[in-house]
């Protein structure tokens, strides 16, 4: 477990830069676990920020290895803001600077190290709107379903459920075995939205980014956050191929 003094998010927060904290701030907590699919997380984060939502970010230790493997980006506590900027700017095809990332947008993000169990979102009194876990590994699913709270990501998920706030779990694994299916049923019964990272093709996808954005858009739909990440079904066959799908980029 990382010691509390490693919480570099507090060095960038309003309490430490001379400004008053925003008492009306109610963020979405975004948890990123170690499953493959870090482009899904990047797309969800871009969508939340584009919608004007505040974000509290928790990146698990395992997800840092996946992020390094999939993007070659090292996500570091001490440099999280610059690393996040590079991550959000990268396209699903690996190309850098595919998306503009402004300082104004990043100002809406607060980062909490996964080992900081004393972080704000670990308490039910912290004013969060809800949580999305994207991507969610089977280990993460099991930990949340069993209430293990072994790190901040799992703890916040448990808090989200007990406070009856929205929890969206974008599980990314295939095939699924019996124990994982039972854990997913348990999460559903506890009130979470179980959302497999399963892209669809009816929206006229022509690029890997379109498939990633479809899943991210469905995550935002479940959280009731408006976006323009994919073309919605309107009951007309072939409608997705008429013109390029709208993008919130």
Q: What would the pLDDT profile of 122-147 be if each residue is shown by its tens digit?
A: 999 999 999 999 999 999 999 999 99
Residue 44 is predicted with a pLDDT of 98
Q: How far is CA 196 from CA 40, 137, 175, 222, 243, in A?
A: 12, 11, 11, 12, 27
Question: Torsion over CA of 8, 11, 13 and 15, rounded to 10 degrees?
Answer: 130
Q: How far is CA 1 from CA 16, 56, 57, 65, 205, in A?
A: 24, 20, 18, 16, 42
Tokens 């809800």, residue? Answer: 130
Cα 157 versus chain centre, distance: 12
- The tens digit of pLDDT for each residue in 31-79 reads 999 999 999 999 999 999 999 999 999 999 999 999 999 999 999 999 9
**Burial tier of 211 (Cβ tally within 10 Å: 0-12, 13-18, 19+):** buried
d(CA 134, CA 212): 12
Q: What is the value of pTM for the model shown?
A: 0.89
Does the pLDDT value for residue 248 go beyond 60?
Answer: no
Q: 216 with 40: CB under 8 angstroms?
A: yes
The average confidence (pLDDT) of the chain is: 90
Query: To 5 degrees, how large is the angle CA 195–CA 173–CA 151?
Result: 80
- The tens digit of pLDDT for each residue in 168-177 reads 999 999 999 9
- The tens digit of pLDDT for each residue in 183-214 reads 999 999 999 999 999 999 999 999 999 999 99
Which residues are CB-neighbours of 122 under 8 A, at least 6 positions away? 116, 152, 155, 156, 159
- Give the percent of the chain with pLDDT over 70: 87
Confidence class for position 241, pLDDT limits 50, 70, 90 = low
User: Which one has a higher pLDDT value, 20 or 122?
Assistant: 122
Does the pLDDT value for residue 6 go beyond 80?
Answer: no
């Amino acid at each position: 477990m990382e010691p509390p003094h490693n919480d570099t998010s507090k060095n960038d927060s309003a309490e430490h830069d001379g400004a008053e904290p925003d008492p009306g701030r109610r963020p979405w907590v975004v948890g990123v676990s170690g499953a493959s699919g870090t482009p899904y997380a990047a797309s969800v984060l871009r969508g939340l920020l584009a919608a004007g939502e505040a974000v509290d970010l928790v990146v698990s230790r395992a997800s840092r290895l996946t992020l390094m493997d999939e993007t070659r980006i090292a996500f570091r506590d001490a440099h999280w803001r610059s690393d996040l900027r590079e991550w959000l700017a990268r396209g699903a095809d690996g190309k850098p600077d595919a998306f503009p990332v402004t300082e104004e947008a990043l100002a809406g993000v607060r980062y909490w190290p996964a080992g900081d169990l004393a972080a704000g979102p670990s308490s039910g009194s912290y004013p969060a709107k809800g949580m999305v876990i994207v991507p969610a590994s089977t280990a993460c699913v099991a930990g949340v379903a069993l209430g293990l709270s072994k790190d901040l990501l799992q703890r916040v998920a448990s808090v989200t459920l007990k406070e009856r706030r929205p929890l969206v779990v974008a599980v990314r694994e295939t095939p699924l075995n019996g124990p994982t299916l039972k854990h997913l049923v348990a999460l559903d019964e506890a009130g979470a939205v179980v959302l497999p990272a399963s892209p669809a093709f009816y929206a006229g996808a022509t690029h890997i980014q379109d498939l990633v954005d479809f899943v991210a858009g469905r995550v935002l739909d479940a959280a009731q956050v408006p976006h323009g990440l994919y073309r919605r079904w309107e009951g007309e066959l072939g409608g997705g191929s008429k013109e390029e799908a709208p993008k919130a980029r």
